[in-house]
Amino acid sequence: MEERTLESRRVYEGRIVGLRVDRVVLPGGRETTREVVEHPDCVAIVAIDAEDNVILVRQFRHAVERELLEIPAGGIEPGEEPLQSALRELEEETGYIAGRMERLGGFYSSPGYATEFLHLFLATELQKASSRVREDEIIEVVPIPLKQVRSLIKSGALADGKSIAGFFALFQRLEKNKR
């Protein structure tokens, strides 16, 4: 089932993504091309405060031309471990510091064409600090009761894939802990 890469050609190198076109040979011997968006790995954090609210962020996403409600997330800086990135991104985007951070799992965001892997974390024992949002980000912090999350997903009000995956992992963990 494995494809063998014969040649890679870099088409674009940006600040956040790169694009390459690979010429590959399929198991049956046929050659074809694959377009690959190279994106560094990221972290995404389901943060729950002492009142059982999840800390979400609302921001305009240019690619889909609308505001989205999402769990905090961001890129892993060179030399950083995913846990360090999760702690940093939570504080930068929301102004919260996690007293406890646990791994929830991870997934490839769009493996059909992209390299990005998202590491999911659960942040609890939150303490308010000050956010350090980057100049190029406009983020509104939105606490939502955890019990409302399923209805937000069902209604489409929460339509971000990483957020849905994060909540799915959280709900599985909560169900497992009930047993």
In this structure, the number of other CB atoms found within 10 A of the CB of residue 74 comes to 18
Give the tokens for residue 158. 């929460």
Question: For the chain, what is the domain count?
Answer: 2
| Average pLDDT of the residues in 139-156 | 96
Taking the complete model, does pTM exceed 0.85, yes or no?
yes
Q: Are residues 56 and 34 in the same domain?
A: no
Q: Are residues 18 and 99 in the same domain?
A: no
Catalytic residue list:
135
Give the tokens for residue 145. 């009761």
Helix or strand holding residue 94 (H, E)? helix 82-94
Range of the domain at 131: 42-178
76-131 pLDDT, tens digit each = 999 999 999 999 999 999 999 999 999 999 999 999 999 999 999 999 999 998 76
| Average pLDDT of the residues in 55-77 | 96
Q: Are residues 54 and 11 in the same domain?
A: no
Q: Are residues 50 and 28 in the same domain?
A: no
Counting every residue, how long is the chain? 179
Q: Are residues 46 and 109 in the same domain?
A: yes
Q: Are residues 125 and 174 in the same domain?
A: yes
Q: Are residues 59 and 90 in the same domain?
A: yes
Q: Are residues 115 and 74 in the same domain?
A: yes
Encode 3-38: b = buried (16+ Cβ within 10 Å), e = exposed.
eeeeeeeeeeeeeeebebebebeeeeeeeeeeebbb
Q: Are residues 55 and 32 in the same domain?
A: no
2-37 pLDDT, tens digit each = 999 999 999 999 999 999 999 999 999 999 999 999
Q: Are residues 155 and 92 in the same domain?
A: yes
Q: Which residue spans within the chain are E strands per DSSP? A: 4-13, 18-25, 31-38, 42-47, 53-61, 66-70, 73-75, 96-108, 117-128, 140-145
